[in-house]
């Protein structure tokens, strides 16, 4: 079991939680899920002030190397800021047990790794690590359908394309139903049509459940189409924060 856990951590599956999705019951529409002040991480990212509201779709855009992924990792406490304050639900993010924190908010990396074995094995191992009971094939097939895949559950994940791996990894995240989704370019390996399908699905999924979605995207057009808030990073600093939709 120790080796299995170590493998999970390597694959970012340390973010997997054992709890079901928590419906957002925030009576204050201005409730802040994350608050950052005077945050600095090496020479990669500097954030003077940033407040991310709950139950919003926030898209982070900017050129490669601008600090987008670093910001997501800070929000998931996968890395620690050199200075400054990061609050999660009003409390210092460092005061949370990292596993408990990642049970509520899951980060999906841009290039997720697969467990060895079939797609069914990947779903099963995901639930095993989260200490939850295995689900039936019908649940797994429904998740594949949600992410637009028509593959047999017996398919070996090592034979999947980059885009297929991204979607299977996203299906694993949805299986665990976290309250907050932190997605690092979940559609980077997809064509334009499939990208729009996936982003719309994830946005609808979060909104229907009262969840919070924070996603990095390389396409400003995608952010403008789907986001409530768009954050533009340039050279490790926030260039602007735009409210695109009032919710």
pLDDT in tens, 180-230: 999 999 988 888 899 999 999 999 999 999 999 999 998 899 999 999 999
pLDDT in tens, 142-193: 999 999 999 999 999 999 999 999 999 999 999 999 999 999 999 888 888 9
Q: CA angle 146-151-155, nearest 5°? A: 130
Percent of the chain with pLDDT over 90: 76
The residue ranking higher by pLDDT, 59 or 27, is 59
Q: Which residue has the tokens 């939850």?
A: 132
Contact predicate 9/102, CB 8 Å: no
Number of CB atoms found within 10 A of residue 150's CB: 7
Q: Three-state DSSP class for 94?
A: helix
Inter-CA distances, 23 with 18, 55, 61, 178, Å:
15, 10, 27, 10
**Residue 247: predicted pLDDT:** 66
Per-residue pLDDT band at 131 (split at 50, 70, 90): confident
């Amino acid at each position: 079991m120790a080796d299995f856990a170590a493998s999970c951590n390597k694959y970012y599956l340390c973010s997997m939680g054992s709890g079901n999705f928590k419906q957002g019951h925030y009576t204050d529409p201005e409730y802040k899920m994350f608050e950052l002040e005077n945050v600095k991480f090496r020479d990669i990212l500097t954030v003077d002030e940033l407040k991310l509201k709950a139950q919003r779709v926030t898209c982070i855009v900017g050129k490669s190397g601008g600090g987008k992924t670093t910001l997501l990792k800070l929000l998931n406490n996968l890395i620690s800021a050199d200075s400054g304050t990061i609050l999660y639900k009003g409390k210092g993010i460092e005061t949370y047990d990292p596993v408990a924190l990642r049970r509520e908010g899951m980060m999906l990396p841009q290039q997720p790794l697969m467990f060895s074995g079939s797609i069914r094995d990947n779903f099963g191992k995901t639930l095993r690590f989260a200490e939850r009971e295995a689900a039936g094939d019908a649940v797994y097939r429904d998740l594949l359908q949600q992410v637009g895949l028509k593959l047999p559950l017996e398919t070996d994940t090592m034979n999947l394309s980059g885009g297929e791996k991204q979607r299977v990894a996203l299906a694993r995240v949805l299986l665990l139903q976290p309250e907050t989704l932190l997605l690092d370019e979940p559609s980077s390996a997809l064509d334009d049509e499939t990208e729009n399908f996936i982003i719309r699905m994830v946005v609808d999924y979060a909104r229907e459940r009262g969840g919070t979605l924070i996603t990095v995207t390389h396409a400003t057009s995608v952010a403008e189409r789907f986001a409530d808030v768009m954050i533009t990073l340039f050279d490790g600093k926030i260039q602007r924060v735009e409210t695109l939709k009032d919710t």
